[in-house]
Amino acid sequence: MGSLGDFEFPQSNALLNIAGRASNDNPLDPEEFRRQGHMVIDFIADYYKNIEKYPVLSQVEPGYLKKRLPTSAPFYPESIETILGDVQDHIVPGITHWQSPNYFAYFPSSGSIAGFLGEMLATGFNVVGFNWMSSPAATELESIVMDWLGQMLRLPKSFLFSGNGGGVLQGTTCEAILCTLVAARDRTLRIIGNDNIGKLVVYCSDQTHCAFKKAAQIAGINPNNFRVIPTTLSSSFSMCPKALRNTITADVEAGLVPIFLLATVGTTSTTAVDPLGPLCDVAKDYGMWVHVDAAYAGSICICPEFRHFIDGVEGADSFSFNAHKWFFTTLDCCCLWVKDPSALTQSLSTDPEYLKNKATESKQVVDYKDWQLALSRRFRSLKLWLVLRSYGVEKLRGFLRSHVKMAKVFQGFVEADNRFEVVVPRNFANVCFRISPSTVMTKSSNGVLGEITNSNDISSPRTKTKMGMVNEVNQKLMESINGSGGIYMTHSVVGGIYLLRFAVGATLTQESHVIEAWNVVKQHAHAILNSIPTTQ
Amino acid sequence: MGSLGDFEFPQSNALLNIAGRASNDNPLDPEEFRRQGHMVIDFIADYYKNIEKYPVLSQVEPGYLKKRLPTSAPFYPESIETILGDVQDHIVPGITHWQSPNYFAYFPSSGSIAGFLGEMLATGFNVVGFNWMSSPAATELESIVMDWLGQMLRLPKSFLFSGNGGGVLQGTTCEAILCTLVAARDRTLRIIGNDNIGKLVVYCSDQTHCAFKKAAQIAGINPNNFRVIPTTLSSSFSMCPKALRNTITADVEAGLVPIFLLATVGTTSTTAVDPLGPLCDVAKDYGMWVHVDAAYAGSICICPEFRHFIDGVEGADSFSFNAHKWFFTTLDCCCLWVKDPSALTQSLSTDPEYLKNKATESKQVVDYKDWQLALSRRFRSLKLWLVLRSYGVEKLRGFLRSHVKMAKVFQGFVEADNRFEVVVPRNFANVCFRISPSTVMTKSSNGVLGEITNSNDISSPRTKTKMGMVNEVNQKLMESINGSGGIYMTHSVVGGIYLLRFAVGATLTQESHVIEAWNVVKQHAHAILNSIPTTQ
C-alpha cells in the first residue's frame, strides 16, 4: 500500500496521515476539489496515454486483490496521493482494458472525452432527478436530446415527444426490456384479470440476448411460457416470421395469451438482424407488444446507408439502443423510445404524498420516475448532449463508419487466408470467423475433408466428433490469443459452430491496431495448427 | 447559445466551429482529454464556490429549456467552451441544487470530493464489469469494500462474504428491493409451483417507501395481495408486530402464502424505525423473507451510539442502505447485503454461451450480474473505496454526527418558539415540524383551541375542518419558503398531519446555514400567520 505516497506505512489504517486529515475537513471544499480533481484528470489522461502497455485482458488470478488490501476500512484518512498509488499498483492490474485500442471483445464500451465530461458534470451537480421538479433541467434536457436522437435515427414521429410518444434514458437494455415487458403484461392483465398471469406467453429467438429471459423471470412470466424460435445458419440466424406465427398459433389454440415479442437488430453472437416488418405484422395480428432491441447496432442507423436495418420499426411499440456501447457515451446510457408512454406509466407510476408537487399536478411535465424501474435517477442526458454537440452528426457518422471500414479490413484478411473462414456475413463492425474445418481436417490428416465444411448438420455422431475437433482448435486459438494479453476477443457458439468475434469499436482503435491484431491471430493459429497431432 | 464561447452563432448547428473540429478527431486523445478535463474540473469547483448564489429550488417554468435549445442536434462539432457556456446559461438555472448548503429537502444527496473522484476513475476506466473476468478488480474491490462496510455497521457475519453471505452494489434501493423480492418469490414458487404466483402475499406499513409497491407490481405479485399495516402517531409511525401477525394469520387462513416483509429503519416521511427484532420473529414463524430498508438511516449506524436502531437485523434475510443518500458517495450507490446469495443467483442468473469463461466455471469467483437486475454494471465500488479511505471511519462518523447536531439545533429553535411544534420525535438528522394547531386557531379567533391540538383523530367532520385549516397554513408556509429560493424543504402528510421536513445532510451545510434557515422559516411564518383572517 501507499507506494506512490509521501510516506510508507506498515498498514494503511494503522497510522494517522496528517496531510489527508487537513485536506478533508470539508468534503466538498471547492479549492481542494480543484486540486484533487486536476490530479485525477492527469491520472486518467496518463492512463489513456499508456493503455497499450497493459495486457488487454487482465491476467490476475481469482482472489488477487484480497491479498493486497487490508481486511478493514481505515480508521483515519488517507491522502489522495496514497490512494492513486494504490489504484495504479493494485487496481489497474485487475482491470480488463475496455478502452484499449486492442480491445475487440464482446461489444465495445466506447468512451469519449465528451461522454466523460458529461458524466463529470452530472456527478458534480449530483441531482436526483426523479421528477421534473427535483431538477427541471434534467428532465427537459433528456426529453429534448431523445427527440434529437430519434430524429437522427429517423424513428417514426410516433416515437418522439413531438409525436405523442417519447424517449427516456435507462441504465441498460435489461431495464428497458423489463419496463416494456411489464407495460405489455399489465396492458393485457387489465383486460383478462391478474389471475391469468400464468397464461401470458412471450417470444424471442435463440439468438435473443439473455436479458430477455431474465426480464421475463423477474416479471413473473411462467418459465414454461417463454418461447424461443430456433434460427439457422442458412438464414444468418435471424428470426423467421413464419415460425413465429406457427408458435403463436399453437399457443393461442392451447388457450394461452401471447403478449410480447422481442426482435433484435444486431444480435450478440453474430449481429444478426431480425426482419422487423414481417415480425411486426405477425405480432399485430395478435395484439402483441413488439420491442426492438438494437443495443449494439442502433447507433450506426444514424448513417443513411445503414438505416434500412431498422426498416419496419414503425410497426413496433418500443425501440432501444445502448449509447454506452457504440456511441461514445460512457456506461450506463440506454436510449428507449415508446409510442405509448401511458402504457409505461400505468405500470410504473408511484404517487406518494412526499413527492406530490404542483408541477406534477399540472400535468404539464414529464416525471421520468414513472418511465423506469427505480425512483432515483442520474442526470444522464448531459453526457449524451455533450457527445452530440462535441462531435456533431457528421463526425459521429464518420467515427462509426471508420469502425465498419476497419472491420472490413479485418474481414479481407480472413478471406484472403485460406486457413480461415468468415462464418456469417458481416453486417456492422463485428467479424465472426474461425479456422476452417478443412484446415483442421487437413492438419489432422483425417482425410475426410469437405464432408463437414460449412455444414450446420450436427446430428450424426461422426460429424459431431469432427465439429468438436474444429471447435476445440478454435477455442484453443481464442484462449491462446487472450492469454497473450496483446489483444482481447471473445467467442460464441451458434448452430454448433464455435466462432471468434472480432468486434471493432473501441474509441482508440486505428487501422494499425487491426493489422497488428491480424498478425497476432495468424501467429497463434500457426502455433496451434502445428501442434495438432498428424495422426488421429 | 454560446454566450461564453469565442464566437457568437445565430444558431448553434448552423456553422462550422473550426476549433471544435480540430480537437475532436480522436475522441479519446489523452492531451485533449487533459485540457478539457481540467476545464470542467474548474467549472465544477467554481459551481461549488458560487452555489449559494442560486435559488436552491429551481424557479423555471415547465418547457423553459425547449425555448432555449435548437430543435435538432448539431451537424458539426461545437467547442467545449461553447458547451460549458450553455451549461452555465441554460442548464444551471434549471437545476435544483441538491449540493447547496441550503438544501434541506427529501433526503440529502451528499456528494464529496472522494465520491466524485471515484466516479471519475470508474468513468475513465469505463469497464463493464458484469462478471469477474470482464474486470476482476471491479468484482473483487466490491466484495472487499462491502465486507469493510458490513463490519463498520457491525452487521452479523452471516451477511458478509467472510460468513458465507455477501454484499453487492445496486443502483438504488428500488432495485435492491426488487431483487430480494424476486428471490423470495421464487424460493416459494420452487416449492408450491409457478401456477400459485397469485397466492403470494407481501407486507409493509403505510410508511414504507413507494418503491416496494412498485417492486411488487413489477414482480407480478397480485395487487390484491399487497398488505399495508396502518401505523399511528402514538407509536411514532412504526410498524406494529402484532398487527402484522394478525394480518398474516388472516391471509394464511384464507389459503394465501406470505412471502416477504419489508421493514424500514428511517422511513421517508418521518424517519420512523420499525422494530426489527419482533417483526423478524413474526416473519420467521411463517418462513418469510425479511428485507430491511435503511436507505437513509443505515449510514449513521456506523456510529456506536446509533447502532441500536438496526438491532434485530440478525433475524433478517437482507439489508440495504444508500451510500448516495447520506454517505458522501455520489448517485447511484445502494449497498445490499444478503445472507443467502444463492437465493439471488437462482432467480437472476444467466449463462449464455458468449459469457462463458473458465473463471466462472471454476466457481472460485463472484459474477455480480447474477446478483442484480441488469447485465452491465459500472465500477461503483471505486467511489465507495475512495470515500472510506479519504475520510476514514472516524471522520465519517464525525461528519454524520455533525449533521445530527445541526438537526438538534434546529429542533431546539422549533421547541423554543411556541408558535411551532415538533410533530414526531427526531431520530436522526431530520426534524418534522409545523406551525401548531393552537397558533393557527388563535390567529383565526376560532376560540376552540386545544380540542384538536396533538390529535390524530381525523374522524369527526368538525376536527377535519380544523385540521384542514392547520394543514393549509403549513402548506402555505412551505410553498412560501420554497418559492423564495433561499432554502428548500419538502413536506409529508402522516396521520392526517401536514408536516414540514427539515433534513440536514447536504455536505456543505454548516451551523450558520441552519440558523439562517430558521430565520427564513420564522419570517415566512410571520407573514403567513398575519395574513390569516381573524374572523371565520
CATH number at residue B140: 3.40.640.10
Question: Is residue A116 one of the residues assigned to a domain?
Answer: no
Are B198 and B210 within one domain? yes
Cell of A505: 469499436
Distance from CA of B530 to the nearest CA of A (A): 25
C-beta of residue B55 within 8 angstroms of C-beta of residue B88 = no
Contacts of B226 in chain A (CB under 8 A): none
Dump strand ranges (E) for A149-270.
166-170, 200-205, 226-229, 257-264
Phi/psi at A409 (5° precision): -60, -45
* Residue B392 confidence (pLDDT) above 50: yes
Contact B111 A28 (CB under 8 A): yes
- The interface predicted TM-score (ipTM) is 0.93
pLDDT recorded at residue B9: 33
Residue-level pLDDT at B461: 62
What is the model's pTM? 0.94
Local confidence band at A444 (pLDDT 50, 70, 90 cut-offs): confident
- Tens digits of per-residue pLDDT, A83-116? 999 999 999 999 999 999 999 999 999 999 999 9
CA distance B338 to B157: 11
> Which pLDDT belongs to residue B443?
83
Say whether B75 sits in a helix, a strand or coil: coil
**How many angstroms separate the CA atoms of B332 and B384, rounded?**
11
Mutate to test the interface with A, among B15, B21, B52, B96 (most CBs of A within 10 A): B96
The whole-number pLDDT of residue A9 equals 34
Closest Cβ–Cβ partner in A48, A71, A152 for B33: A48
CB contact under 8 A, B507 and A27: yes
Task: For residue B447, give how far its alpha carbon lies from the nearest alpha carbon of chain A (Å).
Answer: 31
B77 and B153, same domain (yes or no): no
Contact B175 A209 (CB under 8 A): no
pLDDT tens-digit map of A227-256 = 999 999 999 999 999 999 999 999 999 999
| Cα end-to-end distance, chain B, whole Å | 53
pLDDT band at A451 (very low <50, low <70, confident <90, very high): very low
- Minimal Cα–Cα distance from A36 to chain B, Å? 8
Smallest CA–CA distance from B178 into chain A, residue: A218
Would the pLDDT of A18 be above 80? no
**Residues β-bridged to residue A435:** A420
Contacts 24+ apart (CB under 8 A), A401-404: A401/A303, A403/A326, A403/A429, A403/A504, A403/A505, A403/A509, A404/A300, A404/A428, A404/A429, A404/A504
CB-CB under 8 Å, A135 with B116: no
Question: Element (H or E) spanning A491, and its range?
Answer: strand A490-494
Asked if residues A45 and B34 have their Cβ atoms less than 8 Å apart, the reply is yes
Instruction: Identify the closest residue of chain B to A116 by CA–CA distance.
Output: B123
Kindly tell me if the per-residue pLDDT of A22 is higher than 70.
no
**Which residue(s) pair with B500 in the sheet?**
B433, B491
For A358, residues 6+ apart whose C-beta sits below 8 A from its C-beta are: none
Are A507 and B123 an interchain contact pair (Cβ–Cβ within 8 Å)? Answer: no
Could you report the per-residue pLDDT of A375-404, keeping only the tens digit for each? 999 999 999 999 999 999 999 999 999 999
| Three-class DSSP category at B289 | strand
pLDDT for res A464: 63
Beta bridge partners of B30: none
Looking at chain B, the whole-number percentage of residues with pLDDT higher than 70 is 91
- Say yes or no for a CB contact (<8 Å) between B113 and A32: yes
pLDDT for res B341: 97
CB pairs A-B closer than 8 Å: 504
| Whether the Cβ atoms of residue B222 and residue A364 lie closer than 8 Å to each other | no
Dihedral sign for Cα atoms in the order A518, A519, A523, A524 = negative
Q: How high does pLDDT run on average in chain A?
A: 92
For B175, residues 6+ apart whose C-beta sits below 8 A from its C-beta are A373, A374, B334, B372, B373
- CA dihedral (A208, A213, A219, A224) positive or negative: positive
Determine the 3-state secondary structure of B291 from DSSP. Answer: strand
| Residue B414: all three cell numbers together | 422549533
Total domains in chain B come to: 3
Asked if pLDDT for residue B371 goes beyond 70, the answer is: yes
Per-residue pLDDT of B481-497, as tens digits, reads: 999 999 999 999 999 99
Residue B460's pLDDT band, with cuts at 50, 70 and 90, is low
The three grid cell numbers given for residue B505, joined into one nine-digit string:
445532510
* Whether A393 contacts B75, CB under 8 Å: yes
Terminal-residue alpha carbon distance, chain A? 53
| Domain-terminating residue out of A47, A75, A94 | A94
**Residue A452, pLDDT score:** 42
Mean pLDDT, rounded, of chain B: 92
Contact B129, B379 (CB under 8 A): yes
Question: What is the CA A329 to chain-centroid distance, rounded?
Answer: 12
Residues with Cβ within 8 Å of residue B236, at least 6 apart in sequence: B270, B272, B273, B424, B425
Residues of B in contact with A55 (CB under 8 A): none
Candidates B264, B300, B236, B265; CA nearest to B429 is: B300
Rounded alpha-carbon distances, angstroms, from residue B21 to A389, A396, B78, B86, B319 = 11, 12, 7, 18, 50
CA distances from A403 to A326, A333, A399, B33, B443 (A): 10, 21, 7, 21, 73
Same domain flag for A258 and A326: yes
Q: How close B336 gets to chain A, by Cα (Å)?
A: 15
- Name the closest residue on chain A to residue B491, using Cα atoms: A354
Let me know whether A189 and A135 are in one domain.
yes
Residues A364 and A463 in one domain: no
- Which residues in chain A have their CB less than 8 angstroms from residue B362's CB? 62
| Cβ–Cβ below 8 Å for B117 and A36 | yes
Here the contacts of A337-341 (C-beta below 8 Å, separation 24 or greater) are A337/A146, A337/A150, A337/A155, A337/A159, A337/A160, A337/A165, A337/A166, A337/A167, A337/A168, A338/A159, A338/A165, A338/A166, A338/A167, A338/A168, A338/A180, A338/A183, A339/A158, A339/A159, A339/A165, A340/A165, A341/A165, A341/A166, A341/A371
CA distance A329 to A116: 8
Angle of helix A381-416 relative to helix A113-125, nearest 10 degrees, comes to 150
Residue A533: predicted pLDDT: 76
Q: Is the pLDDT of residue A269 over 90?
A: yes
CB atoms within 10 A of CB B352: 17
**In this structure, are residues B407 and B497 in contact, taking their beta carbons and an 8 Å threshold?**
no
> Residue A75 is part of a domain; what is its CATH number?
1.20.1340.10
Dist. CA A306–CA A521, nearest whole Å: 29
Instruction: Note whether B487 and B386 are same-domain residues.
Output: no
What is the rounded distance in angstroms from the CA atom of residue A275 to the CA atom of residue A265? 8
Q: What angle do CA B33, B38, B43 make, to 5 degrees?
A: 125
CB contact under 8 A, A364 and B493: no
Q: Is residue A22 part of a domain?
A: no
Q: Quick check: B195 and A197 CB within 8 A?
A: no
- The minimum CA-CA distance between B324 and chain A, rounded to whole Å, is 9
> In angstroms, how far is CA B19 from the centroid of its own chain?
42
pLDDT band (50, 70, 90) for residue A25: confident
Tell me the backbone φ, ψ of residue A61, rounded to 5 degrees: -100, 155
The parent domain of residue B321 ranges over 128-391
pLDDT category of residue B445 using cuts at 50, 70 and 90: low
The reply to whether B205 falls in a domain is: yes
Chain A CB contacts of B32 below 8 Å: 113
Q: In this structure, are residues A489 and A105 in contact, taking their beta carbons and an 8 Å threshold?
A: yes
User: Shortest Cα distance from B234 to chain A (angstroms)?
Assistant: 20
Q: What is the CA radius of gyration of chain A?
A: 26
* B213 neighbourhood in chain A, CB within 8 Å: 350
Same domain assignment for residues A356 and A406: no
At residue A445, the pLDDT reads 62
Of the three residues B350, B376, B391, the one that is the final residue of a domain is B391
Out of A87, A90, A194, whose CB is closest to B121? A87
What does the pLDDT average to over A491-505?
Answer: 97
Task: Give the other-Cβ count within 10 Å of B184's Cβ.
Answer: 25
Residues B270 and B339 in one domain: yes
Q: Are residues A145 and A241 in the same domain?
A: yes
pLDDT at A199: 98
Split at pLDDT 50, 70, 90, the class of B227 is very high
Domain-embedded: residue A536: no
Q: Which residues in chain B have their CB less than 8 angstroms from residue A47's CB? A: 124-125
Decide: helix, strand or coil at residue A494. strand
Q: Which of B45, B351, B364 faces A34 most closely, judged by CB atoms? A: B45
pLDDT tier for residue A463 given thresholds of 50, 70 and 90: low
CATH number at residue B403: 3.90.1150.10
Residues A188 and A333 in one domain: yes
Strand bridging mode A497-503 / A490-494 = antiparallel
> A422 with A310, same domain?
no
The alpha-carbon gap from B403 to the nearest alpha carbon of chain A, in Å, equals 13
| Least confident interval from A6-10, A325-329, B316-320 | A6-10
Looking at the predicted structure, is the pLDDT value of residue A10 above 80? no
DSSP for B412-467, please give it.
HHHHHSTTEEESS---SSEEEEEE-HHHHHHHTT---TTSSTT-----SHHHHHHH
Closest-CA distance of chain B to residue A467, Å? 17
Q: Is residue A61 part of a domain?
A: yes
What sign has the CA pseudo-torsion A5, A7, A11, A12? Answer: negative
d(CA A482, CA A511): 20
For testing the chain A interface, which of B117, B179, B367, B381 should be mutated: the one with the most A CBs within 10 Å?
Answer: B117
Report the candidate in A177, A383, A526, A512 with the shortest Cα–Cα distance to residue B27: A383
- Does A21 have pLDDT greater than 70? no
Of A495, A498, A270, A522, the residue nearest A420 (C-alpha): A522
Percentage of chain A beyond pLDDT 90 is 88
Residues of chain A positioned with their CB less than 8 A from the CB of B432 = none
Angle at B166 between CA B165 and CA B172, to 5 degrees: 135
CB-nearest partner of B389 from A83, A116, A220: A83
Residue A14 pLDDT > 50, yes or no? no
Residue of A nearest to B378 (CA): A331
Using a CB-CB cut-off of 8 Å, the residues of chain A touching B116 are 33, 37, 120, 123-124
Question: How far is it, in rounded angstroms, from Cα A376 to Cα B171?
Answer: 9
For A420-487, list the strands marked E by DSSP.
Answer: 420-422, 430-435
Q: What is the pLDDT of residue B464?
A: 63
Look-up of cell digits 469519449 = A112
For A5, left (φ over 0), alpha (ψ -120 to 50), or beta? beta
Contacts of B74 in chain A (CB under 8 A): 388-389, 392-393
Is residue B18 a part of any domain in this protein?
no
Residues A418 and A526 reside in one and the same domain: yes
pLDDT at B533: 76
pLDDT digits (tens, 9 = 90+) for A210-229: 999 999 999 999 999 999 99
Nearest-Cα distance to chain A for B468, in Å, is: 15
Longest dimension (CA), chain B: 81
